Homo-oligomer: A and B are copies of this chain.
Amino acid sequence: MGKVKVGVLGATGSVGQRFIQLLENHEYFEVVALGASDKSAGNLYKDVMKSRWKVSSKIPDYAANMKITRCTPKETPGVDLVFSGLDSDVAGEVETEYAQAGVMVISNSKNHRTDKDVPILSAEVNSEQLKVLEAQKTKGKIITNSNCTIMGVTITLKPLLDAYGIESVFIVSMQAISGAGYPGVPSLDILGNVVPHIGGEEEKVEMEPQKCLGKVSGGKIVPANFKISAHCNRVPVIDGHTVCVSVKLKKKTTVEKIKKLWAEFSGEPQKLKLPSAPLQVIDYREEIDRPQPRLDLMNGNGMTTTVGRLRPDPLFDFKYVVLSHNTIRGAAGAAILNAELVYKKGYLRVK
């Protein structure tokens, strides 16, 4: 029995490149289509990417000699699932078109994240939200993953929410430049500098975790009921978002109990032994100055969330620091893990 035939939409962009890298020799999926803009369509991937491939490993052979197509179901026949790394100005429409054509859409774009029947799926956190897919009227279903900044944070909050309940969360991010794509942030703006603003980011950070941590009730997702305040900053780091978190809980607990919860936290991806699932979902570092992007970025092949500095907070209950790889765990890797989950759980109908 063969692999699932998949396509990558937005294949020339930053997230698309990661998809192509991470899908090389994948156990379940075979990439048979690379979709991009009209300008690139018709050309070999390697020719278009000559000076645009920015991942620090070579273009995988399977992709190098593939011809790019446009992002429409007609031009990518035979795919059962697409990974979308499209820009948000086109993602909404294109993804809907694929869903209508009966193709499952695993999207990294923000466009459908606020739809009531579209889960922001974080495979270890809320696989039960897959139930709401039924409510989607299209034949193909759309699944999104969360914004890169809150991916790791939400994972650390999940066991706290289940065990103690959450009152409020304070988040300050120091985000890597790769989050802005390519060409993205001009070097004159960020070299030796901090930019205390990222367009639209704080809004997402203050809203997505609650939906991701919500419950399904009456076929709909009911967001968790707590407030978040966020400051988002850009710093001169290539990959890896570092986030300072303070959290107020509903019940009393201790630093040691939280560490234990985190150490033991795992979800369906671990049970099902999905190919992209990290063995350790949350890795707590005892050193006083961790996590750090340079040292902890590739923990669990970029899929583990690294945490450190858990300590009491004078205003909230606890404070800690979270690092996750923004283009792997926070984007392409998370989307692939989501696809593995829906495939193994039988949500994906292969033609």
Q: Which of A69-77, A156-164, A182-190 contacts B (4 or more CB under 8 A)?
A: A182-190
Is A41 in contact with chain B by the CB < 8 A criterion? no
- Once A229-B315, A231-B172, A297-B56 are accepted as A-B contacts, the answer to whether A184 and B186 lie under 8 Å apart by CB is yes
A51 lies within 8 A of B192 (CB): no
> Of B57, B236, B295, B315, which one neighbours A187 at CB under 8 angstroms?
B236
Q: Which of A2-10, A108-116, A237-245 contacts B (4 or more CB under 8 A)?
A: A237-245
B231 lies within 8 A of A321 (CB): yes
Residues 48 to 88 of chain A near chain B (Cβ within 8 Å): 50-51, 54, 56-58
**Which residue from chain B places its CB closest to the CB of A183 in the assembled complex?**
B186
Residues 186 to 203 of chain A near chain B (Cβ within 8 Å): 186-197
- Once A244-B233, A315-B229 are accepted as A-B contacts, the answer to whether A238 and B192 lie under 8 Å apart by CB is yes
A229 lies within 8 A of B194 (CB): no
In the bound complex, CA of A196 to CA of B238 (Å): 17
Q: How many copies does the complex hold?
A: 4
Is A223 in contact with chain B by the CB < 8 A criterion? no
A178 lies within 8 A of B188 (CB): yes
B319 lies within 8 A of A289 (CB): no
A191 lies within 8 A of B190 (CB): yes
- Once A50-B287, A235-B235, A315-B227 are accepted as A-B contacts, the answer to whether A293 and B191 lie under 8 Å apart by CB is no
Smallest beta-carbon distance A211→chain B, Å? 16
Is A281 in contact with chain B by the CB < 8 A criterion? no
In the bound complex, CA of A349 to CA of B289 (Å): 45
- Once A186-B183, A238-B191 are accepted as A-B contacts, the answer to whether A56 and B294 lie under 8 Å apart by CB is yes
Smallest beta-carbon distance A46→chain B, Å? 11
Residues 291 to 339 of chain A near chain B (Cβ within 8 Å): 291-299, 308-309, 313-316, 319, 321
In the bound complex, CA of A298 to CA of B57 (Å): 7
**Which residue from chain B places its CB closest to the CB of A51 in the assembled complex?**
B287
Is A266 in contact with chain B by the CB < 8 A criterion? no
In the bound complex, CA of A236 to CA of B293 (Å): 12
Residue among A177, A192, A237, A308 with the highest chain B CB neighbour number at 10 A? A192
Is A206 in contact with chain B by the CB < 8 A criterion? yes
Q: Could you list 15 examples of A-B contacts with CB < 8 Å? A: A51-B287, A54-B188, A54-B189, A57-B298, A172-B172, A174-B235, A177-B187, A187-B189, A192-B238, A192-B293, A193-B294, A196-B242, A228-B314, A229-B246, A233-B244
Beyond the given A56-B297, A235-B235, please list 18 additional residue pairs across the A-B interface where CB-CB is below 8 A.
A51-B288, A51-B289, A57-B298, A172-B172, A177-B188, A182-B188, A187-B187, A187-B189, A187-B190, A191-B192, A193-B293, A193-B295, A194-B292, A194-B293, A195-B289, A196-B308, A196-B309, A231-B246
For the complex of A and B, 4 pairs with smallest distance between CB atoms: A183-B186, A231-B244, A172-B172, A197-B289
